[in-house]
Amino acid sequence: MNKKGQRLIFGLSGYIWVPIALWLIAATIFFDKFAYQIEAFDAQVRVLLTTGQKDVREFNEDGIPLSYSARNGEEFTSPFYVVHYGVMYSSAFAKRINRKRADWFMDDSIKYWNVPPNSYKDTYFKNSADWVVEHISFRDGHAHLLYNFDWPYRNYPNGGLKAPWWSGLTDGYAIVLLLRANDVYGGSKYMDAATELYKSVLAPIANGGSLGELNGDPWIEEYVDPRADPKKLSFVLNGMIYATYGIDAYERYTNLANPMAPKLYRSIANNLHVFDRGDWSEYDAIGNAANIKYHRVHVALLKRIESETGKRAVAIIRERWEHGMNNAGYFWLLHGTLGVAKIQFILEYLFVLLVFPVSITLFGLIRQRKSARF
């Protein structure tokens, strides 16, 4: 390379290196601030490549969600998402009910769940509640919304869950949906189903329920494979909190003596250190860090835990996690579990970082060759 070419590519720092530096800074800020949106788009790409579907989730004519995941590569109906969207549909009735009750508590974490429903038809709310009632099954005398598909899960016993399995999160949070349906539509079926699920969630896992123990405190388990050792399950943070909402709602709704909810809220506060990575959170207690969506959900959920327990320690952790949420790309890369999603994000980031410097270098080489010809 002659001296003219060297000056073109390496010498004119004000012409080349300053724009390159600005590009690197801008790309880094972009990936940090929009990491959630990028990761959500990446999830759609993975689903498209593995299942041929362009959406992570779609809805049938009754408003019931159908899900697609790169994890198992097939279409499935997740009981949790039926409950989740049912609660979202029910929000259209909140102002009509006009009751300050625990079952109508409007949860700030809802806004952090991706893929909102296409519409909020009144019939979708009833369809969701009816789906729950119709799909309750009994195992060892306890009511569950069974999951009839296998689910791979890193660090879970035997590498994942084998169908059929159940979820204390789903069974517990479904109580909120059923109580709301009881308020709007009446009859006995919604209340009867809520009562059965309440008893099931608080029954020990060893007896066919969903209640385990974490560090001596009661803990509602999100992922329960009856073949796994109850002491080696996942202990998922958001699953425990959402299930506790259901238990709390039922106990306040029925004015139940000796409620369990205060003990569950204290358990969450006492065990937050298990899920604390400083500026980031763990998804579970078996070594899986939260992804960006679940970390955002955790921040929102802790606001209520702080309110229910009055513990300053909860607020301190929430404030740190909120700082991480506001710089999600950086802290997810720093603390997140290495997996397909994170690798894809890193490769995209590196590609964007390099595209401008490589392009401008190639442009300089082309100009140098053209100049050499003359």
State phi, psi for 42 to the nearest 5 degrees. Answer: -60, -40
Q: What is the mean pLDDT of residues 12-24?
A: 69
What are the tokens at 54? 């362009």
Residue 172 has pLDDT above 90, yes or no: yes
Calpha distance 203→106 (Å, rounded): 27
Taking the model in full, what pTM does it have? 0.87
Q: How many helices (H) and strands (E) does the chain have?
A: 14, 9
Q: How many residues does the chain have?
A: 374
69-107 tens-digit pLDDT: 766 667 789 999 999 999 999 988 876 765 567 788 777
Cα first-last separation, the chain = 15
Average pLDDT, the chain: 87
Share of residues in the chain with pLDDT > 70 (%): 88
41-57 tens-digit pLDDT: 777 777 677 777 667 78
Q: Are 142 and 273 in contact (CB under 8 A)?
A: no
Bridge partners (DSSP) listed for residue 15: none
Per DSSP, the residues of 104-159 read G---GGGGGSSS--S---HHHHHHHHHHHHHHEEEETTEEEE-B-S-EE-TTSGGG
Q: Are 276 and 221 in contact (CB under 8 A)?
A: no
Q: What is the mean pLDDT of residues 22-43?
A: 81
Coil, strand, or helix at residue 202?
A: coil
